[in-house]
Chain A
Amino acid sequence: MTLNHYFSLIDVQARMLLKADTSKYKLGVLWWFLEPLMWVCVFYIVFALILDNGEKSGDFIVFLAVGKFAFIWYSKTVVQASGSIVSSQGLIGKVKMPKSIWPMSAVQESLYRQSTVYLLMVFLLAVFGIYPALSWLWMLPVLLVMYLFIVASSLVGAYLVCMVRDFQKFIPLGMTFLLFTSGIFWDVRDVKNAEKADWLLTLNPLAFLIDTHRQVLMYKGSPDLAHLLVLGVVCCAVIVAMVYLMRRYTHYLALKVLT
């Protein structure tokens, strides 16, 4: 299989998954916007109406939305991709394909879908008075590393679930754990113990990436480039290792899925 065929197949698979999914619902593509918008409404009700402490609740909604939307991209993709090899059982018994094609198609589908969520994020920022600026160009490397981190996590998840099906039970739990430890409802920078905060940002790449999203988008800052670079390189290494493992054990993985 040529690289060109590999990537065009991922692209077509992703588009077809989206098409099949949107055709199922009456509101179709509108759901891509409605779903994140409903999240914002939930935030608004909880934080602006119920927990309103009279000051700067708008800021907090933006703070939450940026964190939550970035988290949604990560969690939805990894959950979907982790089960993707196992759920393609029918196809795996019939065609010889690199196993990475299934998680990669899921990652790609999610990428197309989440682009609307990011558009909504920009819109929301504007509503609360934060307008696009030149410094937002820092988002390009941030989004690239975020993407690499998602790909690496998805490949690892898909491989583990394929090897030991029980691992699938841990994924929702892991996501809930990340939801609480990645600083979505609270600011990593508010952690009093500096050492603890450092540890958190180093050990949980998602906490670092979400914080970087906020620094760039909300406070027009620049990311910690060294940290970003190291994370990007580590993710690339993991991706290469996983693709190698999936090629090396392609027959074993197929047998695992089929039996």
Chain B
Amino acid sequence: MLELQNVSLNFEASKDSFDDGIHHVLRDVSFKLYENETLGIIGRNGVGKTTMLRIMADILGPTSGTVIKYPGKTASLLTIGLGHKPDLSGRDNALLSSMLQGASKAEAQSYLEEIKAFSELGDSFEEPVKTYSAGMKSRLGFTTALLTHVDILLVDEVLSVGDAEFRAKAEQAMRERISGDQTVVFVSHTDAQVKSLCDRVIWIDEGRLRLEGEPEFVLSEYRDSLRQ
């Protein structure tokens, strides 16, 4: 589906930091993503996981190396609360988010009732989002995001949403998506989630690919390295 070949990404940082002011976020990363699989990405904060997802989503381009994607395949990030404006109602925000995720206006409008039902927001759906609690916001955001239709879904740590009841529902919905024929790349710091959802895991350390393989094996190596 998608292949990264020797991908590196640098940008200019302030003069005295990093290598003479050049920040190397990714260094020579290569891996393949296969159809229908769920690939986990683990690693400490700031090692380039999000940057890698952004490159896969074609938001950023590599400084060197190539990204090969099957023609016609789309990849996008699952984002909670995309472009939400606090002064707008839940309904308007859901419409805007859906369109930013690539839905046409008619498609976006057809999702609205489904979003209202799944998020269980009831009459609050018509109220400005600024009056929502944090949990209500994430319910709206997650439900809208879940309706994204892409070939490759890139997930950056978003499963911890809402109260316990909604979280279970969200995880269930996510699991259904993943176990279907959706190709997923999944960044997570939760071992249990990685073990239960991913088919394969890659471990990124300081911008390099450190290890790739079975979830159990890669996770245990990763945990060992953190203990040292």
Residue numbers of A with Cβ under 8 A of B are 1, 4-5, 8-9, 12-13, 16-17, 19-21, 23-24, 90-97, 250-252, 254-255, 258-259
Contacts and interface: CB of A to CB of B under 8 A. Distances in A.
Interface residues of B, number: 28
B202 interface: no
B88 A9 contact: no
Interface string B88-120: 100010011001111011000000000000000
A132 B76 CA distance: 52
Nearest to B80: A94
Given A8-B105, A12-B105, A91 B61 contact: no
Contacts of A250: 61
B85 interface: yes
Given A23-B128, A258-B60, A95 B100 contact: yes
A64 B124 CA distance: 47
Contact of B59 (A17, A19, A92, A259): A92
28 contacts: A4-B104, A9-B99, A12-B96, A12-B99, A13-B96, A16-B96, A19-B87, A20-B85, A20-B87, A23-B87, A23-B88, A91-B82, A91-B83, A91-B100, A93-B54, A93-B59, A94-B59, A94-B82, A95-B77, A95-B101, A251-B58, A254-B54, A254-B59, A255-B11, A255-B61, A258-B54, A258-B60, A259-B23
Contacts of A20: 85, 87-88
A105 to B, nearest CB: 11
Contacts of A251: 58-61
Contacts of B1: none
Which of B11, B59, B83, B95 is most buried by chain A, counting CB atoms within 10 A of its CB? B59
Interface of B: 11-13, 23, 54, 57-61, 76-77, 79, 82-83, 85, 87-88, 92, 95-96, 99-102, 104-105, 128
A19 B88 contact: yes
B58 to A, nearest CB: 5
B80 to A, nearest CB: 10
A252 to B, nearest CB: 7
A16 B85 contact: yes
A88 to B, nearest CB: 8
Contacts of A23: 87-88, 128
A9 B103 CA distance: 10
Which are the 5 A-B pairs with shortest beta-carbon distances? Answer: A251-B61, A20-B87, A94-B79, A8-B105, A20-B85
Tell me whether chain A's interface is mostly helix, strand or loop, or mixed. Answer: helix
A23 B104 CA distance: 26
Contacts of A96: 57-59, 76
A4 B102 CA distance: 12
B100 A97 contact: yes
A5 B59 contact: no
Given A23-B128, A91-B82, A255-B61, 6 more contacts: A12-B96, A92-B59, A94-B77, A95-B76, A251-B58, A254-B59
A46 B131 CA distance: 44
Contacts of B79: 94-95
A197 B169 CA distance: 70
A28 to B, nearest CB: 11
B75 to A, nearest CB: 9
A258 B99 CA distance: 22
Contacts of A16: 85, 88, 92, 96
Given A8-B104, A8-B105, A16-B88, A95 B59 contact: yes
Contacts of B100: 9, 91, 95, 97
Contact of A24 (B76, B87, B101): B87
A8 B102 CA distance: 11
B156 to A, nearest CB: 9
